[in-house]
Structure 1
Amino acid sequence: MSEAMDDKYLHLGRLIAAQCTPGFLEARLEGALDTDRPRFRLSWTAQDHSRHEAPEAAEMAEIQAALEDIREAMVRQNEGGRWRTFVVTLRKGGHFLLEVDD
């Protein structure tokens, strides 16, 4: 993985974390791009293990742009096709995982 991609993942992770309660244990963003209306579902687990979900009206434009940037960079680097659905998982301690599917 290139340093440029690492920077893109870090940027996306920070955008997602900014939507969550500070100090969360795990955050999960699920969604789909390339639909009539892109969809996103953001949930997280707080330090007290309570579960939370971002309201549907949460601002996701920057997150969507970051995801599209990552997707296009992956296509340019021949790291796969132009995926549509995704799951991003963040965990306390800096863990980042992006899973994609057509």
Structure 2
Amino acid sequence: MKTGGRLLIRTRDTCLWKSNTPGVRITIADTGHGMNQAVRERIFEPFYTTKGINGTGLGLWISSGIVSKHHGILQVRSSQAKNGGTVFSLFLPQEFKSM
């Protein structure tokens, strides 16, 4: 949020509604300018960055891999509307069962 804004971080105990899996949800939301659909579709790809020479494009790719290995879910939604912004939602199950 180059021009300022608001960043909200929330946590809560929850269950996935489809499987009733208990866990924790961490939500990080901002009031920034948001991302267009083309960016949203690629942000979890390795080496994809919107930060030019200041980014490696590995952060979200590595994060999504870690979440996946723990049977979690990492999702994003974003809007470029006037009062838009971006929300990342991370669900981690209460118990990790190895395969």
TM-score (norm 2): 0.34
More helix by share: 1
TM-score (norm 1): 0.33
Q: Which has the larger radius of gyration?
A: 2
